[in-house]
């Protein structure tokens, strides 16, 4: 969905032509995997970070067009709303000081963005959902003026027969409302981590990533408030799932935003065949590129937001590769927190994917999926089922089982020892204090009952560079 398109209205012929090209490329991808054409060597790390522009009153500031024109940085691009932007990382070979290079680049880009935002009477903040966000902020007037967003909105509503989207989230203060467009999606900003591994190892890594989703969302939760209500610890999960719901109530696993329908098998490109078979095309923009560019497959895949998504990409020489996009983590709380989250993910996934007995063979997919939603609801307070039918507190699992795996996995990747210590010490202390971003927000609000003060204090602490476990509430 990052690419711009030429039109916002489509004919039946557009859909038919696109469908033929999509079917051809899907078959081409499956044959390419069988023939070993995808890269089978490098391990590469990267990320996308979505963030907010806010004004001096801590409300969303819909100024991303002027901001981006002034900034002129190819690593920072528009998002769905005029008050969101996206940071992209330069991909790093996953060894040595890859993690600290990612942190240094993000810190430098973030600093430039802060200074540029100030020139627009605004600032930047990384947080899953902005506590001061109002439902009235989420209108088409706040949509970034790009054709791909207008077309997406038109096609989602067409798939729903014009019916408004319903937001229905249970919590201590339940939220039920309707919305006339897809702008609810703009309330959900994330830290999406990318992992390229040898194609022969992708299926094991993708399954490990799915299995790890529940502990990861509990560890990183940072979105407890929506429209002034305290809901899930990571309310971004149900909010995003419902914001582009095309109405397939009978098959929730086929929602456009989904945990998925099962673990990957021997051929991970089967997910593209599932896309073709189960998901109607939303944006039928035909390209004149050859089948091995996968333009239609990639565009269609970009409108299906699995929480763990397989992507096709290309290296500098044009060689294709497969990579995993892990989408469960929210933006924030601090830069070091986010890179620590990435470090934890890379290390644990590496170890889980290399175990002699695949861990997905000891945890049914249905359990992994239920774990995910339980962890999103309750954060570090969640209790889940783990491998072999073990039941327990997710915080204990993270601290006692997964943190040592993260350390071992990063060592396997030859990550620099002082980087391993720096980032995993942040995770260890977060677990020891039981304070992630959601816990800090909820504690702050229970003391002060003021979402504006919460946002102001959050911003001040984020600017300090301290990890969230050190933030005073």
Q: What is the pLDDT of residues 291-321, one digit of tens each?
A: 999 999 999 999 999 999 999 999 888 899 9
Q: pLDDT tens-digit profile of 88-111?
A: 999 999 999 999 999 999 999 999
Residue 129 above 70 pLDDT? yes
Q: pLDDT tens-digit profile of 421-459?
A: 999 999 999 999 999 999 999 999 999 999 999 999 999
Q: pLDDT tens-digit profile of 144-157?
A: 999 999 999 999 99
Give the bridge partners for 53, in sequence order.
Answer: 124
User: Residue 317's pLDDT is what?
Assistant: 86
How far is residue 71 from each of residues 190, 268, 437, measured CA to CA in Å? Answer: 21, 39, 29
Residue owning tokens 């609801």: 377
Residue 340 above 60 pLDDT? yes
Can you tell me the mean pLDDT for 32-37? 97
Kindly provide the b/e burial profile for residues 90-110, where b requires at least 16 CB atoms within 10 angstroms of the residue's own CB: ebbebeeebbbbbbebbeebb
What is the DSSP annotation of 413-460? TTB-HHHHHHHHHHHHHHHHHT--HHHHHHHHHHHH--HHHHHHHHHH
User: Residue 377's pLDDT is what?
Assistant: 98
| Residue 306 is assigned to a structural domain of this protein | yes
Q: Are 331 and 283 in contact (CB under 8 A)?
A: no
Residue 253 above 80 pLDDT? no
**What CATH number is associated with residue 76?**
3.30.590.20
User: Residue 250's pLDDT is what?
Assistant: 57
| Residue 410 is assigned to a structural domain of this protein | yes
Classify the phi-psi angles of 427: left when phi > 0, otherwise alpha if psi is within -120 to 50, otherwise beta.
Answer: alpha
| Residue 134 is assigned to a structural domain of this protein | yes
How far is residue 273 from each of residues 91, 217, 255, 268, 412, measured CA to CA in Å? Answer: 28, 28, 16, 10, 33
Read off the pLDDT band of 81 (50, 70, 90).
very high
Residue with more model confidence, 242 or 248: 242
3-state per-residue secondary structure call for 46-101: EEEEEEEEEECCCCECCCHHHHHHHHCCCCEEECCECCEEEEECCCEECCECHHHH
What is the distance between the alpha carbons of residues 225 and 441, in angstroms, rounded to a whole number? Answer: 9
What is the distance between the alpha carbons of residues 309 and 464, in angstroms, rounded to a whole number? Answer: 33
Please report how the helices 417-433 and 403-412 are oriented relative to each other, as an axis angle in degrees rounded to 10. 170
Q: What's the sign of the alpha-carbon dihedral 448, 453, 459, 460?
A: negative
User: Residue 248's pLDDT is what?
Assistant: 63
Q: Which of 70-79, 158-167, 336-345, 400-409 has the lowest mean pLDDT?
A: 158-167
User: Residue 365's pLDDT is what?
Assistant: 97
What domain count does the chain have?
1
CA 263 to chain centroid, in Å, comes to 19
- For 269, list phi and psi in degrees, rounded to 5: -75, 0
Q: Copy the structure tokens of residue 230.
A: 């305290």
Residue 408 above 70 pLDDT? yes
Q: Are 131 and 441 in contact (CB under 8 A)?
A: yes
State percent of the chain over pLDDT 70.
97
Report the chain's mean pLDDT, rounded to a whole number: 95
Read off the pLDDT band of 173 (50, 70, 90).
confident
Question: If residue 193 lies in a helix (H) or strand (E), which one and from where to where?
Answer: strand 191-196
Q: Exposed, middle or buried, 9 (CB in 10 Å: 0-12/13-18/19+)?
A: exposed
What is the distance between the alpha carbons of residues 148 and 7, in angstroms, rounded to a whole number? Answer: 8
User: Residue 246's pLDDT is what?
Assistant: 86
The whole domain housing 159 covers 12-466
Q: Are 222 and 120 in contact (CB under 8 A)?
A: no
Q: pLDDT tens-digit profile of 367-379?
A: 999 999 999 999 9
Can you tell me the mean pLDDT for 49-77? 98
Residue 249 above 60 pLDDT? no
| Residue 348 is assigned to a structural domain of this protein | yes
What is the distance between the alpha carbons of residues 410 and 424, in angstroms, rounded to a whole number? Answer: 10
Q: Are 184 and 243 in contact (CB under 8 A)?
A: yes
| Residue 42 is assigned to a structural domain of this protein | yes
Q: Are 430 and 470 in contact (CB under 8 A)?
A: no
| Residue 5 is assigned to a structural domain of this protein | no
Those residues whose C-beta lies under 8 Å from the C-beta of residue 223, and which sit 6 or more positions away, are: 127, 128, 129, 188, 232, 233, 234, 235, 236, 239, 330, 438
Q: Are 234 and 180 in contact (CB under 8 A)?
A: no
Read off the pLDDT band of 254 (50, 70, 90).
low
| Residue 425 is assigned to a structural domain of this protein | yes
Can you tell me the mean pLDDT for 342-360? 97
User: Residue 3's pLDDT is what?
Assistant: 63
| Residue 6 is assigned to a structural domain of this protein | no
């Amino acid at each position: 969905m990052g690419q711009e398109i030429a039109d916002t209205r489509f004919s039946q012929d557009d859909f038919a032509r696109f469908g033929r090209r999509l079917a051809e490329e899907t078959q081409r991808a499956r044959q390419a995997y069988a023939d070993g054409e995808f890269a089978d060597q490098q391990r590469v790390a990267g990320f996308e970070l979505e963030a907010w522009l806010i004004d001096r009153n801590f409300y969303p500031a819909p100024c991303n067009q002027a901001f981006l024109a002034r900034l002129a940085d190819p690593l920072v691009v528009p998002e769905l709303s005029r008050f969101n932007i996206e940071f992209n990382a330069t991909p790093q070979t996953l060894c040595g000081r890859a993690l600290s290079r990612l942190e240094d680049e993000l810190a430098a880009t973030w600093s430039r963005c802060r200074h540029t935002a100030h020139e627009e009477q605004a600032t930047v903040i990384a947080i899953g959902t902005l506590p001061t966000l109002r439902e009235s902020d989420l209108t088409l007037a706040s949509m970034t003026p790009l054709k791909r967003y207008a077309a997406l909105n038109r096609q989602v509503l067409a798939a729903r027969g014009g019916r408004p989207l319903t937001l229905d989230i249970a919590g201590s203060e339940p939220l039920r409302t309707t919305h006339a467009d897809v702008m609810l999606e703009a309330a959900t900003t994330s830290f999406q981590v990318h992992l390229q591994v040898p194609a022969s190892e992708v299926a094991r890594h993708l399954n490990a990533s799915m299995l790890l989703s529940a502990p990861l969302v509990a560890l990183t939760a940072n979105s407890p408030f929506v429209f002034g209500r305290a809901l899930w610890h990571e309310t971004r999960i149900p909010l995003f799932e419902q914001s582009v719901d095309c109405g397939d109530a009978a098959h929730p696993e086929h929602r456009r935003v989904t945990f998925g329908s099962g673990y990957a098998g021997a051929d991970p490109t089967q997910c593209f065949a599932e896309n073709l078979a189960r998901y109607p095309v939303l944006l039928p923009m035909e390209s004149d590129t050859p089948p091995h560019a996968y333009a239609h497959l990639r565009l269609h895949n970009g409108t299906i937001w699995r929480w763990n998504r397989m992507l096709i990409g290309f290296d500098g020489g044009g060689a294709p590769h497969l990579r995993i996009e892990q989408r469960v983590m929210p933006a924030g709380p601090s830069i070091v927190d986010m890179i620590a989250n990435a470090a934890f993910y890379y290390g644990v996934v590496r170890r889980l994917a290399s175990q002699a007995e695949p861990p997905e063979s000891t945890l049914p997919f249905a359990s992994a999926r239920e774990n995910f939603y339980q962890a999103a609801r309750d954060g570090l307070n969640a209790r889940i089922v783990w491998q072999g039918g073990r039941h327990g507190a997710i915080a204990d699992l993270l601290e006692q089982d997964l943190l040592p795996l993260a350390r071992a996995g990063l060592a396997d990747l030859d990550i620099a020892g002082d980087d391993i210590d720096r980032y995993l010490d942040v995770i260890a202390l977060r677990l020891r204090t039981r304070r992630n971003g959601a816990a800090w927000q909820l504690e702050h609000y229970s003391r002060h009952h003021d979402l504006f003060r919460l946002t102001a204090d959050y911003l001040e602490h984020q600017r300090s560079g301290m990890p969230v476990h050190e933030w005073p509430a």
